[in-house]
Structure 1
Amino acid sequence: MRGAAPGGWVRLGGRKVADHGIFTVHRDRYRLEPEGRERDFVVLRAVDWVNVIALTPEREVLLVRQYRHGSESDSLEIPGGMVDRGETPEQAALRELREETGYRAARAELLGTIEPNPAIFANRCHCFLAEDARPAGPAEPDPWERIELIRRPAGALPDLVREGAIRHALVVAAVGLYLLSGRT
């Protein structure tokens, strides 16, 4: 048993109920103090994710369009993916940039870390800015990915969100962090 969490919640225990490769499903038991009421909560555990706003020397942002099975539609996004074992989030961001776009940047600066959906997900998404991204060869997407590279002026990002061209919540959050950074 762990100590009381904020809000009076005490975690009594939990167990994994399913493993789906990219995430596991857990049923965790909590007690609410001081009332003593108990309840099970479903928690999805996954490795952390990254996404990266990559800007070319011409201040164009590198976007990727790919089919998403959850929404059953194409999605306009920024490069991103999972943090592999042994990688730092920055290394993962630079790797995903290279794999999905064929571009490389010398470094990636953390814009912020967000919780995708803290009600059910127990992971984080690290949002990065990679400036001076330059072509480094052909993209090397995963075998099950079909990605189209799109370049747009970085100043177009707010309109792409406002007009609904960018709908992925984690990408919208990264754009917001980028705009708040004052680096536009």
Structure 2
Amino acid sequence: MSDESDGADLAWESIDSDVAYSCPGFDVVHERVVLPDGTESDYDHLDEPPAVVILPFTPDGDVVVIEEWRQAVGRVNRGLPAGSVEPDDADFERAARRELREETGYEADDLTALTALEPSNGVTNTVHHYFAAEGCTPTASQDLDFDEAIDVGTTPYDALYESVRDGDCRDARTALAVLYYETLGPASETARS
């Protein structure tokens, strides 16, 4: 594959699009598309707003984690605070600060943008914006949505990293945040110096 390819010969053409189903958090979009070989087909995907994922560190270096029921997989998930960007969020950092406060009751002294990734671009158009938050302290009560039940705790960073490395952490957002932080973010810079 050439590094100079713009992918135009791979592009699909959307000839019709409508919302097949709408619910809080996302829409299911149905499209009629023309494939590169001229074949017409149907394609459905989730239309979701951007989201933020926060890797929040307490002043002593522990990570603030949450446990939340995830109906799609039928179990409690241990992971990082995350949530959708809302229309009144001025930017992604503001959304990250809001989600951290609402889900955990913690607030951060400093936020550093880590990366932005498309977690599942074969079925959804959402982009997750990752942040490391430093100096996180409990300053308020949780302000959860009606369908959220979240327990908040802390864990040593090394224990969280080990759970990702060993495959015990099943939450992809958490794994991506930790692995990015460890290999390309501030943790890797500390290890290199």
What's the TM-score once normalised by structure 1's chain length?
0.90
Shift in alpha-carbon separation, 1:6–1:117, aligned structure 2, 3 A: farther
**Residue 150 of structure 1: aligned partner:** 153
Contiguous gaps of at least 5 residues in structure 2? 1-6, 188-193
**Residue 37 of structure 1: aligned partner:** 39
Contact 1:63 1:150 in 2 (8 A): yes
**Residue 126 of structure 1: aligned partner:** 129
Contiguous gaps of at least 5 residues in structure 1? none
SS of structure 2 residue aligned to 1:64: strand
**Residue 73 of structure 2: aligned partner:** 71
Q: Deviations over 1:63-93 (max 9, x none)?
A: 0011111111110011111111131221111
Measured after TM superposition, the shift of residue 144 of structure 1 is: 2.8
**Residue 83 of structure 1: aligned partner:** 85
RMSD of aligned Cα (Å): 1.7
For residues 146 and 106 of structure 2, the distance between their equivalents in structure 1, rounded to whole angstroms, comes to: 18
For residues 144 and 15 of structure 2, the distance between their equivalents in structure 1, rounded to whole angstroms, comes to: 42
Measured after TM superposition, the shift of residue 104 of structure 1 is: 0.5
Shift in alpha-carbon separation, 1:10–1:120, aligned structure 2, 3 A: same
Where has structure 1 moved over 3 Å in runs of 4 or more? Answer: 162-165
2:110 is the counterpart of 1:107? yes
What's the TM-score once normalised by structure 2's chain length?
0.86
Measured after TM superposition, the shift of residue 141 of structure 1 is: 2.3
Shift in alpha-carbon separation, 1:62–1:42, aligned structure 2, 3 A: same
For residues 126 and 179 of structure 2, the distance between their equivalents in structure 1, rounded to whole angstroms, comes to: 20
Count of aligned positions: 180
> Percent identity, aligned pairs only?
30
For residues 67 and 105 of structure 2, the distance between their equivalents in structure 1, rounded to whole angstroms, comes to: 14
